[in-house]
Amino acid sequence: MMKYFFRLLLLAITTTAFTYSFCQSKTAVDTVKTIVPKQAKPLSNDIKKTIRHALFKKYYNKSLKEVTTYGGGGMKLKVDSSEGFIDMYYAEGNKFGKWGPNYQITSFDDFIEGDLNNDGYNDLVVCIPWTQGSRPRLDIHCYITINKRLTLYKVYTANNLGICNNNKTDTSGRFFPSKIENGFLIGKTDCLQRGDPGCCPSLEMLTYFKFNKGLQFAKQEAVKKD
């Protein structure tokens, strides 16, 4: 009888040890699974070149119209692409100088690319800086991939998106995008505070926009100064 009891006890211990060992191994295998984030499909350089060419044509024609309308018969356009962008400015005779806004058509290497609408395809934000007055201005072209086709959704300005302290004002803030990350268009907003001269905003905010039938304000925080 005792011999039979010891056999049962030995069988129970062996079964428990095997079961414990199997569960341990299964758990270890399950915990090493990794999730690889899906990368959005990038845009080709050919697409970017096409967009850059279209933007150059648009702003060249706009500048030409301004010269013809406001500049008088002696004004001409000069195009300079030596610095990696096309800088268009006005000339009178052989003298070149600033008269009106100077548009800079950014190189496609500086285009801001990323997935804004979370469809698995990259979108594009192209910034065209121009100067007139004491503070720089910016046209922000927002291209969105819809049904796998990249389309110009809307053109904003730095002023349109110039939210300061979570409030939209007409003149105090200007938004300058820098990257698309985690579905947000992120950049810095220069904000004029009470007592600031018009040229020199003293407050800088880090601003996030999301895309939902257009760029919508998401959040904002003050940039810490060193």
Classified as helix, coil or strand, 91 is strand
Amino acid 25: pLDDT:
32
Task: List the single range of 12-21, 70-79, 110-119, 201-210 with lowest mean pLDDT.
Answer: 12-21
Amino acid 201: pLDDT:
85
Condensed to tens digits (0 to 9), the pLDDT of residues 3-47 reads 444 454 444 444 444 333 323 333 333 334 434 345 688 899 999
In the numeric block, which tokens belong to residue 26? 């299964």
Task: List the single range of 57-61, 76-80, 95-99, 173-177 with lowest mean pLDDT.
Answer: 95-99
Amino acid 157: pLDDT:
94
Q: Cα–chain-centroid distance for residue 111?
A: 8
**Phi, psi at residue 41, to the nearest 5°?**
-70, 125
Amino acid 111: pLDDT:
96
Amino acid 194: pLDDT:
82
d(CA 14, CA 217): 64
DSSP state of 29: H
d(CA 224, CA 205): 9
User: Which residue matches tokens 């129970």?
Assistant: 12
In the numeric block, which tokens belong to residue 207? 């601003």
Give the residue-averaged pLDDT of 44-68: 91
CB atoms within 10 A of CB 145: 21
Classified as helix, coil or strand, 179 is strand
d(CA 89, CA 75): 10
Residues paired with residue 102 on neighbouring β-strands, in sequence order: 131
Amino acid 121: pLDDT:
93
Quick one: pLDDT band at residue 98, thresholds 50, 70, 90?
low
Condensed to tens digits (0 to 9), the pLDDT of residues 163-197 reads 988 776 556 789 999 999 999 999 999 988 888 88
User: Has residue 138 got a pLDDT over 60?
Assistant: yes
Cβ-contact 177, 198 below 8 angstroms: no
Q: What is the mean pLDDT of the chain?
A: 79
**Phi, psi at residue 89, to the nearest 5°?**
-145, 170
d(CA 174, CA 208): 13
User: Has residue 117 got a pLDDT over 50?
Assistant: yes
Cβ-contact 220, 175 below 8 angstroms: no
For residue 187, CA distances in Å to 59, 79, 132, 138 come to 24, 29, 22, 13
Please indicate whether residue 61 or residue 83 has the higher confidence score (pLDDT): 61
Amino acid found at 195: G
